[in-house]
Amino acid sequence: MLECGLELRRNQRGQYRKAAEQENTYRLLFLLLSLLVKNANGTYGTLDSPRLSNLYRDLQTLAEDEGFSSEGLSRATIYNKLKSALSVQHRHAD
């Protein structure tokens, strides 16, 4: 029983920090998306109506040009991350 308790304690340690770090990462990504949308002359849409397909295409091209592996850069992954980042604005407004 003691071992079980110790294992749970080790696994849960810092969970709130991980959640806060993820939220901060999404806020940073939101701010970067904001800059990109404002300075791209409509290429990526607006924050209210972003063109995720354009962002995805250009991120894939940039990753290839920089020699990054495509691992973790699938369409679904990128779309989910971008949508999570864009939802920060709504969470911040509440």
pLDDT in tens, 60-90: 999 999 999 989 899 999 999 999 999 987 7
- Residue ranges per structural domain of the chain: 2-93
In this structure, how many other beta carbons lie within 10 angstroms of the beta carbon of residue 26? 19
Measuring CA to CA, which residue among 84, 86, 78 is closest to residue 50?
Answer: 86
Confidence band for 38, pLDDT divided at 50, 70 and 90: very high
**Residue 54 confidence (pLDDT):** 95
User: What is the four-CA torsion angle of 19, 22, 26, 32, rounded to 10 degrees?
Assistant: 150
Of all residues in the chain, the percent with pLDDT exceeding 70 is: 79
Please name the helix (run of DSSP H) or strand (run of DSSP E) that holds residue 28, with its range, or none: helix 15-39
Please state the pTM of the whole predicted model. Answer: 0.73
